[in-house]
Amino acid sequence: MQDRYQRCLDLAFSPRAQRTRLILDDPSQLLPDLPDRKDLRPYPEKLSFEYKGHTATVRSLSLSPNGQFLATACDDHLVRIYEVATGRLMKRYDMQHPVQQVCFCPSPLLNLLVVSVEYSLVYIVPTFTAHTLVNDYTLRVLHVPGLSVGREGHMMNANTETEALPVVGVMEEGTMQGREITQATLDEDELAAETVVDLHDEDEREKRAEFVDATPKERRAGIVMKVALHAKVKRFVFHNKGDYMCVLCPKDHVKYRQTIMLQLSKRKVFCPFRKFAEVVIDCQFHPREPLFYLATTNAVRCYNLLAHRLQKRYKAPGGVSTCLSLHPEGDNFLLGSTTRYTSWYDCDFSDKPYKRMRSHTGVISAVAFHPNTHAYPLFASGAADGMVHVFHGMVYDDYNKNALLVPLKILKHRRPVYALAWHPTLPWIFTSTEDGTVRAWTE
């Protein structure tokens, strides 16, 4: 009995493997070997421009495809368009309600600015931001009846060939030194503002959205079309080609209408998910493949739009997801959450995050990749702590090499950050905060 007891003690206290104790003189030896930040330039480091005029929170930013103009969406009911290089205010639109989001069409073939206001999407053709041929092609794609663009950037009645709808105001001499800004006030959309509906009516439940031509007063401001929905629009995204859009209305009582897709060239509306009960947060189209990424509160789903099936489900690391950004190559994406983590996912690696970066002390409000990651492999995250963290994120063609993530710079703000936008061709980033400050950070 005693012999067995001693043998059990020997087994319990004997090591299963030979371990060598690691002795470090300097704790910094445990840090990963990262390249020097000087070798990773250029990236945004300093404040260069500030675009003034906002009197409330700026919730969204968007740059034109050529990077020449910046559009802002503000709670003071105004959409403003600035010239990036000079900071000059080119145009502003009064939408009568707080503006949730603004976005330029990513296709250089279309000159289109889309604004989400309450229950509507408003489509604007700012003729001064593109060539006349591009403006005419945009009107033809949208099937706007009886309109064309003249040589001086004015809307023309196609039938009568008379100038009826000026878009850009004429700069008068002696008024603000040639900086007189035109402002257009739009009528409230009674159709879109109707919120009390009978959800037990089958005809009412089948209604998804409706394309509405702009009124003559709205056309004078450059509005060409609107889409009326049944719930407030939280977010919308474009496909890279500019013809398809996805609109998210998470407060719609009809669950499958929370996600609505639009085809602008044919004015078609369809709901891709008939049985979907989760709350949608954000979405992205794959840049090349027919894949659609939909972020909910606790997961990110990848759908194959051609096969009409769920291709993969990615688990959220915890908390409630707040924002999503897809890499321009389509193989990785970023996910922000209320747990103050920014998660990097490799779509082919696992359904769990490849890397979790807890660099903020507040809720992540915005994440964004640079549109041209071949030239500038950069991404950034903004949070309620007033900080914007800029990272170097190199993705390799060799599948045996993992992505290289290096923190580069912290851009400090006094108030919570609401929106981020990268310049399409330069290593510049634009930020907006709660107090209405819009800034441009350059290398």
pLDDT of residue 409: 95
pLDDT of residue 31: 77
pLDDT of residue 198: 41
**Predicted confidence (pLDDT) at residue 159 exceeds the cutoff of 70:** no
Non-local CB neighbours of 110 within 8 Å, separated by 6+ positions: 134, 137, 138, 141, 242
Q: How large is the average pLDDT for residues 294-306?
A: 93
- Of the ranges 26-35, 87-96, 423-432, which is most confident? 423-432
In a domain, 236, yes or no: yes
In a domain, 106, yes or no: yes
- Torsions phi, psi for 205 (to 5 deg): -70, -30
Q: How large is the average pLDDT for residues 63-78?
A: 94
> 10 by DSSP, 3-state: which?
helix
pLDDT of residue 39: 92
pLDDT of residue 10: 82
Q: Which of 117, 129, 112 is nearest to 79 (CA)?
A: 117
Range of the domain at 438: 35-442
Q: Which of 371, 365, 393, 377 is nearest to 58 (CA)?
A: 365
Q: Please say whether the dihedral angle defined by the alpha carbons of residues 238, 427, 365 and 317, taken in this order, is positive or negative.
A: positive
In a domain, 146, yes or no: yes
- Torsions phi, psi for 217 (to 5 deg): -65, -40
pLDDT of residue 268: 92
pLDDT of residue 408: 95
* Confidence category of residue 158, pLDDT binned at 50, 70, 90: low
* Confidence category of residue 13, pLDDT binned at 50, 70, 90: confident
pLDDT in tens, 108-117: 999 999 999 9
Q: What is the spatial distance between Cα 423 and Cα 429, in angstroms, rounded to a whole number?
A: 6
Provide the CATH number for the domain around residue 278: 2.130.10.10
- Torsions phi, psi for 218 (to 5 deg): -70, -35
In a domain, 9, yes or no: no
**Predicted confidence (pLDDT) at residue 208 exceeds the cutoff of 50:** yes
**Predicted confidence (pLDDT) at residue 402 exceeds the cutoff of 90:** no
Cβ neighbours around 197 below 10 Å, total = 13
Q: Which of 278, 340, 355 is nearest to 313 (CA)?
A: 278
Q: Given strand 387-394, what is the order of strands in its sheet?
A: 364-369, 378-383, 387-394, 404-412
Q: How large is the average pLDDT for residues 249-276?
A: 89
**Predicted confidence (pLDDT) at residue 197 exceeds the cutoff of 60:** no
Q: Give the chain's domain count.
A: 1
Asked if 100 and 233 touch (Cβ cutoff 8 Å), the reply is: yes
In a domain, 13, yes or no: no
Q: E strands within 370-416?
A: 378-383, 387-394, 404-412
Parallel/antiparallel/unpaired status of strands 183-185 and 89-94: parallel
**Predicted confidence (pLDDT) at residue 26 exceeds the cutoff of 70:** yes
Q: How large is the average pLDDT for residues 153-166?
A: 48
Q: What is the spatial distance between Cα 383 and Cα 363, in angstroms, rounded to a whole number?
A: 5
- Of the ranges 37-41, 81-85, 129-133, 173-177, which is most confident? 81-85
Q: What is the spatial distance between Cα 215 and Cα 148, in angstroms, rounded to a whole number?
A: 16
In a domain, 19, yes or no: no
Asked if 246 and 292 touch (Cβ cutoff 8 Å), the reply is: yes
In a domain, 197, yes or no: yes
* Confidence category of residue 15, pLDDT binned at 50, 70, 90: low
Q: Which residue has the higher pLDDT, 17 or 70?
A: 70
Q: E strands within 179-320?
A: 183-185, 210-213, 223-228, 235-238, 244-248, 259-263, 268-270, 280-285, 291-296, 299-304, 309-315
Q: What is the mean pLDDT of the chain?
A: 84
In a domain, 3, yes or no: no
> In the numeric block, which tokens belong to residue 406?
């290096």
pLDDT in tens, 225-261: 999 998 999 999 999 999 999 999 998 888 888 999 9
Q: Which of 167, 108, 142 is nearest to 371 (CA)?
A: 108
pLDDT of residue 174: 30
